[in-house]
Amino acid sequence: MDALMKQWTPNLYLYRDKFIQSLQATFEMFWKAGSIAFVIGLFFGILLVVTKKDGISKNRPVYQVTNLLINIFRSIPFVILLIFLIPFTRALMRTAIGVKGAIIPLVFGTVPFYTRQVEVALSSVAPGKIEAARAMGSGTWGIIFRVYLHEAVPELIRVTTVTAISLIGLTTMAGAVGAGGIGSFAINYGQNQYNQDIVNVCVVVLLIITFILQSFGTALARRTTNRSLFPKRRYGKDA
């Protein structure tokens, strides 16, 4: 293995320890920011669907405020958002650089996108099923968990996959401005030092990660079509 690396990627071999550290940093940013963004984005996506004009719990002020905030943060380019959030990130995390300093901007950059994806996925649920649940006496929470989430599981998996792939790209961009990870490694040790083999390997690694995420998400969505991660229950009174 060492002989192959020396032959095909000599510069990467020299910085192999840094390369491993950059991979670890990328995965750390991905899992930490992704976990937080998943919970917050799912919450806001459900909130938008439930409180919209024809939602099951219409609330115009809540919908308009949430919708406005999502639109504002979604319209800001991520690189600008990184800079804009530096004071807030430093106050909350005690640093604005490295992996720790990248988590907050990554969450802010991912949540608006994922919220819209969740909103679209839940909005695809047939209105007839919601009305049927209401007719059987199911309350707001029952409709959310037993109708919206129950019926939208495959689509939610698909949009989560798309968001995860997008997050990988954001971690790379964050690395380019001091957060570490693959992006930082490719620029500092590849582009800046004219080591094309390092750049090539970083691109291949990102392609492999993207392929794995997409394949896993597609397979899981296919398996859950006509099934559900939530147990089937009757639409009786529950809230």
For the chain, what is the domain count?
A: 1
Is residue 46 one of the residues assigned to a domain?
yes
pLDDT score, position 235:
44
Could you read off the pLDDT of 125-184 as tens digits, one per residue? 988 888 888 888 888 898 999 899 989 999 999 999 999 999 999 998 887 667 788 988
Is residue 80 one of the residues assigned to a domain?
yes
Helices (H), the chain: 2-8, 10-14, 16-51, 60-75, 78-84, 86-93, 98-123, 127-135, 140-143, 149-151, 153-174, 182-185, 196-224
pLDDT score, position 184:
87
Is residue 237 one of the residues assigned to a domain?
no
Is residue 170 one of the residues assigned to a domain?
yes
Is residue 182 one of the residues assigned to a domain?
yes
Is residue 142 one of the residues assigned to a domain?
yes
pLDDT score, position 73:
93
Q: Which residue has the tokens 């599981």?
A: 153
Task: Report, as an integer, the average pLDDT of 230-238.
Answer: 48
Looking at residue 228, what DSSP letter applies? Answer: -
Q: 52: domain range?
A: 2-224
Residue 177 structure tokens: 């401005």
> What CATH number corresponds to the domain at position 62?
1.10.3720.10
| Residue 56: CB atoms within 10 Å | 20
pLDDT score, position 229:
45
Is residue 91 one of the residues assigned to a domain?
yes
Is residue 203 one of the residues assigned to a domain?
yes
Q: How far is it, in rounded angstroms, from Cα 56 to Cα 79?
A: 37
Could you read off the pLDDT of 41-72 as tens digits, one per residue? 999 999 999 999 888 889 999 999 999 999 99
Check pLDDT > 70 for residue 234.
no
Q: Within 13 Å of residue 60, how many CA atoms lie on the same side as its CB?
A: 1
